Structure 1
């Protein structure tokens, strides 16, 4: 029999999670927050299903009634405050209503990514002890949920009730109780279960409202999966917080993005770099003129040249944000621009700290780094997670020294306006150690990706007898490109120690559902092909030389033994 799994915080946790300013969410529970909107006749949700060719719309009052009805349905199945409820999180109105209803009852939502297999879903169900799986009424969704004998299936449909009603008899618990159980992306290790209380969600929503400048006139186009924090909290939940509205699209497709944006009068969209790249790569045909005032990019490093190209082509400003599931949603964001372009060096920045968050960069001893010095990005504030579920070792490490340690490498600079701007270079664990020098692979990615025939690129290390680790780059090309040509391109633009030595071309990039490169998986995938370079000594020439910059002087025997770490 499954038991409910709780998160046990460490002694260090309250220090990092302590509020850094006087703001505190003014509501006693989620029910009080949910009732605070009084604009019942304004549109809150437009749900667009490209697969079914449908569009449905809910006003604030209709949405409230829909959520109350779903909460009653959950209550009849026995869901109470403190219970975990899994939701097979397709981008549908029913899924979003389930989310609000679980929170209304004081439960902990456990989103299941539809892209994951049944085995992964069952693993999550067993870990969190959820006794229920909520799904929309789609045939495939219901069938998948019912394959899990360990949990009861709750099917939700028919949300269009217009009958006005009072809130359900059974409503939630305190704001500090667990409200959301997300999982880390697993790009640098096994995914960890992240516990976030409703108070952190509401506090971070207030921070985002202030940082983004969103108002009741804001309408967000949601094309990211709501099984992840960006799609769920920024695109779908934050609009309710600010009194605005959201457009929920079942799945992103570049060919329909601008049409849907124009038809629904969306004013913004929080996307990921992968989506922005697809929009840039789309055909230049005629599109309806959207009302978008800006797009926001997060969940991964954005090429500065891609952001500039997007602004020039579509006339829409691009802002960057940075955050992790462990920080609820957002830690930093590019401030809004009153006009003109960002100066070139700030184009690469992830912005300044949002309200209610304290951000810094520290060295390996926890000492703050100076201007431009690389280190680990750390944070404090009430928006932080409670902790990793049932993982004391990970909690102790993450909350050491009175900070939350993001595991991300970065630095800071002070801009002309006196503000501190932060810069992200990637995961610390992903650093390539070549001859004792730590190299951030994302810096190489960005240079390789500027080649006009490179669609996407990812840099990985491979074991090498002479340097410990050498550098390879995996490339998806959009035209006829040779290894020698790309190596010459890199030699012109990178320091010698950062130049790739091997180029491997392919057609599919391993990535998460929100577009983050699964670099460790890619390295494993390429390990066999790169093993033959174990004995190769690569000559490194002076920066600016042509293809001779990186020439194999000696080739490895294909039977050469690999170190155990490989």
Structure 2
């Protein structure tokens, strides 16, 4: 399996069915095939050669999809860039990955000059938007006018792309993923779940992030029309689901919360949605209950993993969500994955014992780009060490209790922030919560809760402690609480705890 294979199948079996639908623009499979083969020819004309890296800085659009397919068609690898990064962060990734050609859409045209200045190896910027092309950039129309070329059918362990991590714990690393890794997860997910076939798939999660990118692949394999949403906004997603009678979408919990909290959510017809996949960060039981009520026709699928795992390694199926215990887990190992819980020596621990979650299988990354030492540290004897702390029950369900770096040691006791967050999130005054450890003269670290309150609500540390003591031990309860307007978030929807700690002087 490989990235362009679904397009080849579609053009043979249903050439006139829409392949993408973006705003007022629709491309059939036949039209997409033609555009991709010409863009690939244009890339070759610009000097792109086998195994070169081609950058892609774009919102979710049909052009993003075409550029990604064309890059593989031309025997190169893509480097999707985080749309929330600064110029300096983009320049770092472009330089690190030795990118010589970059696709740039309208939203990022103001960065073009600065990117050129800060990335000496960047020869060509291809403007793939709808605005007039600025001087010095190559219009996409020029590539579309090139002679079409034959697909090289790049596949197997040939690198599909370098996907830079979200940087929640520090400097981003480039994760090398091959076509095999991406399609092992996509095919395994399709086979193991009751995913819909045909119809439309809403690409609402950012496509530069591997969760969104992988979900796009799943949609193509299921013969679905991809409907990209350029930038997330709750009303826009609700409207798109209704207008396109969408069958599936993938969202992170922060997006789900924004959608179900929208004052007009109940006025949209969401009955077409058959699947709502979610992941990237924990979801509270309260939010899950609200989401299932808002999308009563949809099955829910939680995926857990990371970019290095292409990106999923466990799946929590819809029927698992009916069990109040199981829905606190992240599911069981996907068909293509082996999952273990190990101690600090790498030895597997008994069921119910807390340790690090590790995974092995054909979905494990090829490695970190230009970082052999980091690769060797992360992948040991074929096992990817996730850095997540959790345990596995007797039936193989995995429960995450924290990130290794987010564990709090208070008074000599290990406190897992996720466990505390799950309890705090149940308080009626709390809309969102993040728990971190702050330096404390008496306890070493104290448990500190940062909360976004429900409008009009108030909450004291004493009130929160009394509430939490009903469910968890006293040493785990927050000793201090801080109300904030919003949390710093990564583009993947994860709270950036390192920024919270830095703001509190605890980094």
Output the TM-score relative to the length of structure 2.
Answer: 0.90
Within-5 A mapping of 1:224-263 = 224-234=205-215, 236-263=216-243
CA distance in 2, matches of 1:251, 1:360: 37
Task: Please list the CA deviations of residues 344-372 of structure 1 after superposition, one character each: whole Å capped at 9, or x if unmatched.
Answer: 00111111211211111111121112221
Aligned to 2:479: 501
Change (3 A) 1:33 1:253: closer
Quick one: distance in 2 between partners of 1:402 and 1:123? 29
Q: Distance in 1 between matches of 2:418 and 2:428?
A: 18
Aligned twin of 1:265: 245
Partner of 2:402: 426
Residues 88, 145 of structure 1: 8 Å contact kept: no
State the 1:173 CA deviation.
4.3
Q: 1:58 to 1:270 in 2, by over 3 A?
A: same
Q: Could you give the per-residue CA deviations for residues 174-227 of structure 1, whole angstroms, max 9, x where no partner exists?
A: 532222111222222322111111121122221121133335325321111111
Q: Which has the higher contact order (CA 8 A, sep 6+)?
A: 1
Q: Deviations over 1:479-517 (max 9, x none)?
A: 231313223222333211100001111112011012101
Q: In the alignment, which residue of structure 1 is the partner of 2:20?
A: 45
Distance 1:145 1:487, change over 3 A: same
1:330 aligns with 2:330: no
| TM-score for the superposition, normalised by structure 1 | 0.81
Closer/same/farther in 2, CA of residues 255 and 267 from structure 1, 3 Å limit: same
Q: Distance in 2 between matches of 1:382 and 1:166?
A: 37
1:318 positional shift: 2.4
Displacement over 6 Å in runs of 4+: 158-161
Match among 63, 71, 74 for residue 32 of structure 2 = 63
| Structure 2 gap ranges (5+) | 131-139
Alignment of 1:124-523 (within 5 A): 124-136=93-105, 138=106, 140-149=107-116, 150=120, 151=122, 152-156=124-128, 168-169=149-150, 171=152, 173-217=154-198, 219-234=200-215, 236-283=216-263, 285-315=266-296, 316-337=298-319, 342-415=322-395, 420-478=396-454, 479-483=456-460, 484-523=462-501
CA contact (8 A) 2:37 2:150 kept: no
Give the corresponding residue for 1:545: none
Q: Any stretches of 5+ residues in structure 1 without a counterpart?
A: 1-24, 49-54, 529-565
Match of 1:73 in 2: 42
Determine whether 1:104 maps to 2:73.
Answer: yes
Mark the CA change 1:170 to 1:291 in structure 2 (over 3 Å): closer, same or farther. Answer: closer
- Distance in 2 between residues matched to 1:341 and 1:298, nearest whole Å: 14
String of CA shifts for 1:156-189, please: whole Å, max 9, x gaps: 368999x9x9961473645322221112222223
Distance 1:384 1:356 in 2: 10
Moved more, 30-39 or 502-511: 30-39
- Match of residue 134 from structure 2: none
> Secondary structure of 2:311's partner?
coil
Q: CA deviation at 1:250?
A: 0.9
The answer for the alignment partner of 1:535 in structure 2 is none
Distance 1:166 1:144, change over 3 A: closer
**Alpha-carbon spacing, 1:291–1:33, altered in 2? closer, same or farther (3 Å):** closer
Rounded Cα–Cα distance in structure 2 between residues aligned with 1:82 and 1:401: 27
The separation in 1 between residues aligned to 2:170 and 2:444, in whole angstroms, is 21
Quote the Cα distance in structure 1 between the aligned partners of 2:351 and 2:154.
44
The change in CA–CA distance for 1:487 and 1:31 in structure 2 (over 3 A counts) is closer
Equivalenced residue count is 485
CA distance in 2, matches of 1:365, 1:453: 42
Q: CA deviation at 1:32?
A: 5.5
Secondary structure of residue in 2 paired with 1:69: helix
Asked whether the 8 Å contact 1:82–1:173 carries over to 2, the reply is: no
**Mapped pair 1:117 → 2:74:** no
Deviation at 1:403, TM superposition (A): 1.1
Following the alignment from structure 1 to structure 2, what is the Cα–Cα distance between the partners of residues 99 and 253?
A: 24
SS at match of 1:493: coil
Does the CA contact (< 8 Å) of 2:196 and 2:275 recur in 1?
no
Q: CA deviation at 1:301?
A: 0.9
Distance 1:160 1:46, change over 3 A: farther
Instruction: Indicate the structure (1 or 2) with the bigger Cα radius of gyration.
Output: 1
Offset at residue 31 of structure 1 (A): 5.3
CA 311–201 in structure 1, closer or farther in 2 if over 3 Å, else same: same
Could you tell me how far apart the structure 2 residues matched to 1:521 and 1:58 are? 42
Give the CA RMSD over aligned residues. 2.3
**CA-to-aligned-CA distance 1:385-414 (integer Å, 9 cap, x gap):** 110112222112111244111111111123
